[in-house]
Structure 1
Amino acid sequence: MALNRNGADALKFPILIGDIGGTNARFAILIDAYAEPKLFPVVQTADFPNIDEAIQADVLDKTSIQPKSAVLAVAGPIDGDEIDLTNCPWVVRPKQMIESLGIEEIIVLNDFEAQALAISSLKEGSRTQIGGGIVREGASRAVLGPGTGLGVAGLVRARNMWIPVAGEGGHVDLGPRTDRDYQIWPHLKTIEGRVSGEQVLCGRGLVNLYNAVCAVRSDESVHSTPAEITEAAVNQKDEAAVETVDLFATYLGRLAGDIALIFMARGGVFIGGGIFQRIIPILKQDHIRAAFEDKAPHSALMAEIPLYVVTEPLAALAGLAAFSRSPRFFGLETNGRRWVA
């Protein structure tokens, strides 16, 4: 059953940690509080009917270590004993997992809560700053990242603890600002008539944007996947792809500025996600920074807030590991999200 317990309760080692997105699932085991995570191969969610079989095949069948606890981050809201992923047909059933996998205790978090946990202690070499700004220690932080969907979370400091704030911020409205935007917007696919952040700023959103750019340019849409578009842009093979990636980065900077204002993130805003990491070589950082700061009447305030690209490829697992080692350092509410045998 789900327990009303505090997130500061210690977990029993070994601990299975997992970052489950719409396309990929990544797993590792923490032997104890001092060990580095033992990583396992990345799993394609489409290759398995459910998370139980993925864990069995990818982890338990490949090690003699039997996890006693599990901390899992999933891409979707957590509500009840059956947790649906937003962009994946998997349904996470912790009670069933306890019975079938022999795990004594399971905590399930939102995937961007895990990203927020990670940015509480992200090392200098795991991030790249875009533009200026100075970190105010102890101030709120925020993270967003385009992947299969668009994740957003905040991180606030209170009572000597970091407290992650999850939500569905990727589904806020995204509107046109420039003349070029007004040309492009009528060609974007909508959800019930609206363009959300996730309709543009994720994998399928990149394809949506590319098709709209091609329509405005009267070009043929020759690419059908995010990887094809980013590869064509990075290698300067396709002018429409180049413009698409530039606009994608600008719009992401614009939304990152909105998130900075919502959380008053003077500790920094962090952009994660594999898509953004792939386009770093061709990013026009001045465009991103200008879009981030263009928040009249608070442009001066925005100029003081640092913006980072997260370059650590396994940031979510790092965040889960940090929490699993020392839950008492994080004000993570686990009521309704923690199950025991």
Structure 2
Amino acid sequence: MAMSGVAARYPWLVADVGGSNARFGWVTGPASGVQARRSYVVQDFPSLEAAARRYLQDLADEARARGERFDPPRQAAVAVATAVAGDEVVLTNSHWRFSRQALQAALQVQGLLVLNDFEALALSLPGLQAGQLRAWGACPLPPAGCLAVIGPGTGLGVAAVVQTARGWLALPGEGGHATLAPADDFESAVLSHVRGAFSHVSAERLLSGIGLPTLHEAVAVAMGLGVPAEALAPEQIVERGLQGRDAVCERTLDSFCAMLGGFAGSVALTLGARGGVYVGGGIVPRLGDYFFHSRFRERFEAKGRFAPYLAGIPTALITDTQAALGGVALAIEQSF
């Protein structure tokens, strides 16, 4: 294809929309990477269209201030925190919903691709650099085979990517809604309490931003304190737990990291993700060194006869909170 034909496809608008934040980026050409990355708070906008228009207006204003022309996007792709099927897209943990056809028409783009947010994050994994990761031991580079990603943010996402002869193939799913299993008597007591309120206790029910308050309450009961736990927001639980001035919050963070490790090990076994398991989402980066001194890796490997199998699988934290935008751009590229 002539260069003029390739250039005619650009620019691209890419977005990664979670329950709390909508991140946007701009791709101007085949080797440009994702530029002009911005993040907007979901609650500040009535719809995805409104947030996208704000982002495009911001870019246009900045271009005019530099004396440059602003060309509107020709292609767009949006990663969303929900299962994707049909024209109507309803976000799981926010008030946003949209029609694919209506959004494409509103943005006046030639094509609009909608994919699951963790499908996009999985597609970003092969392109991650060492500076975007923090690993236990050796960094899992270069990527090969099957790579998995889990991400406790507002919810809990799970996906994978597999190396094929034609490139990397994403395996989207809703693994965060798989049933959470206890590993000891304390965790059994925690889950027993939660089952009193919910018929199904998924991993997301406890290992996420929306789940942390539920986990905190259940941990207090399992500790046998005899008094109800103080109702706290996720940010307060993390802050108090890290400061070491609240025993229930400390135990909550310990349980969170341990149970997340056990869940990640189960994901690795299920998918055969011998190329590595990556941790994304917004919660774990806030834990800093605490996470790397937690029981996460210990519980990741604690799978009985398959402990040696898991010991050979690298794990890493994705420190770049906008990494999924690279996966969104790759999804557009693969669509041609």
Query: TM-score with structure 1 length normalisation?
Result: 0.87
Q: Matched residues in 2 for 1:10 and 1:74: separation?
A: 27
- Is the alpha carbon distance of 1:55 and 1:138 closer, same or farther for their aligned partners in structure 2, counting shifts above 3 Å? same
Report the alpha carbon displacement of residue 38 of structure 1 after superposing the two structures with TM.
3.0
Aligned with residue 34 of structure 1, among 31, 35, 38: 31
Report the alpha carbon displacement of residue 59 of structure 1 after superposing the two structures with TM.
2.4
Matched, 1:84 2:90: yes
Matched, 1:193 2:199: yes
Q: Matched residues in 2 for 1:29 and 1:96: separation?
A: 21
Aligned with residue 45 of structure 1, among 29, 42, 46: 42
Q: Matched residues in 1 for 2:143 and 2:52: separation?
A: 38
Report the alpha carbon displacement of residue 68 of structure 1 after superposing the two structures with TM.
0.7
- Is the alpha carbon distance of 1:10 and 1:32 closer, same or farther for their aligned partners in structure 2, counting shifts above 3 Å? closer
CA deviations on 1:37-61 (whole Å, 9 max, x unpaired) are: 3335422222222111111123235
Report the alpha carbon displacement of residue 135 of structure 1 after superposing the two structures with TM.
6.4
Report the alpha carbon displacement of residue 10 of structure 1 after superposing the two structures with TM.
9.9
Query: Does structure 2 conserve the Cα–Cα contact (< 8 Å) formed by 1:135 and 1:305?
Result: no
Report the alpha carbon displacement of residue 241 of structure 1 after superposing the two structures with TM.
0.8
Aligned equivalent of 1:331: none
- Is the alpha carbon distance of 1:232 and 1:46 closer, same or farther for their aligned partners in structure 2, counting shifts above 3 Å? same
Map 1:230-269 → 2, pairs under 5 A: 230-269=238-277
Task: Identify the structure with the greater helix proportion.
Answer: 2
Report the alpha carbon displacement of residue 200 of structure 1 after superposing the two structures with TM.
0.7
Report the alpha carbon displacement of residue 204 of structure 1 after superposing the two structures with TM.
1.4
Greater mean alpha carbon deviation, residues 42-51 or residues 219-228: 219-228
Aligned with residue 314 of structure 1, among 300, 315, 322: 322
Q: Matched residues in 1 for 2:167 and 2:200: separation?
A: 38
Query: Does structure 1 conserve the Cα–Cα contact (< 8 Å) formed by 2:258 and 2:294?
Result: no
Report the alpha carbon displacement of residue 27 of structure 1 after superposing the two structures with TM.
0.7
Query: Does structure 2 conserve the Cα–Cα contact (< 8 Å) formed by 1:144 and 1:256?
Result: yes
SS in 2 for 1:203: coil
CA deviations on 1:78-120 (whole Å, 9 max, x unpaired) are: 1111111111221131211122222221011100011101111
Aligned with residue 22 of structure 2, among 21, 25, 31: 25
Aligned with residue 121 of structure 2, among 112, 115, 133: 115
Greater mean alpha carbon deviation, residues 208-217 or residues 170-179: 208-217
Aligned equivalent of 1:224: 232
CA deviations on 1:172-191 (whole Å, 9 max, x unpaired) are: 00022212112222222677
Aligned with residue 275 of structure 1, among 279, 283, 291: 283
Aligned with residue 129 of structure 1, among 135, 140, 144: 135
Q: Matched residues in 2 for 1:106 and 1:206: separation?
A: 35
Aligned with residue 182 of structure 1, among 180, 188, 194: 188
Query: Does structure 1 conserve the Cα–Cα contact (< 8 Å) formed by 2:186 and 2:222?
Result: no
Q: Matched residues in 1 for 2:107 and 2:13: separation?
A: 11
- Is the alpha carbon distance of 1:223 and 1:284 closer, same or farther for their aligned partners in structure 2, counting shifts above 3 Å? farther
- Is the alpha carbon distance of 1:275 and 1:232 closer, same or farther for their aligned partners in structure 2, counting shifts above 3 Å? same
Query: Does structure 2 conserve the Cα–Cα contact (< 8 Å) formed by 1:293 and 1:299?
Result: yes
- Is the alpha carbon distance of 1:190 and 1:34 closer, same or farther for their aligned partners in structure 2, counting shifts above 3 Å? farther
Q: Matched residues in 1 for 2:189 and 2:101: separation?
A: 50
Map 1:129-168 → 2, pairs under 5 A: 129-130=135-136, 138-168=144-174
Query: Does structure 2 conserve the Cα–Cα contact (< 8 Å) formed by 1:131 and 1:286?
Result: no
Q: Percent identity?
A: 34
AA in 1 matched with 2:97 = V
AA in 2 matched with 1:207 = P
- Is the alpha carbon distance of 1:263 and 1:191 closer, same or farther for their aligned partners in structure 2, counting shifts above 3 Å? farther
Q: Matched residues in 2 for 1:259 and 1:21: separation?
A: 22
AA in 2 matched with 1:89 = H
Aligned-residue Cα RMSD (Å) equals 2.3
- Is the alpha carbon distance of 1:213 and 1:137 closer, same or farther for their aligned partners in structure 2, counting shifts above 3 Å? closer
Which structure 2 residue ranges, 5 or more long, are not aligned? 1-5, 61-69
Q: Matched residues in 2 for 1:114 and 1:10: separation?
A: 24
Report the alpha carbon displacement of residue 237 of structure 1 after superposing the two structures with TM.
2.4
Q: Matched residues in 1 for 2:246 and 2:33: separation?
A: 42
Report the alpha carbon displacement of residue 230 of structure 1 after superposing the two structures with TM.
0.8
- Is the alpha carbon distance of 1:122 and 1:135 closer, same or farther for their aligned partners in structure 2, counting shifts above 3 Å? closer
CA deviations on 1:160-207 (whole Å, 9 max, x unpaired) are: 411000000000000222121122222226775121000011101111
Query: Does structure 2 conserve the Cα–Cα contact (< 8 Å) formed by 1:270 and 1:308?
Result: yes
Query: Does structure 1 conserve the Cα–Cα contact (< 8 Å) formed by 2:136 and 2:292?
Result: no
AA in 1 matched with 2:278 = F
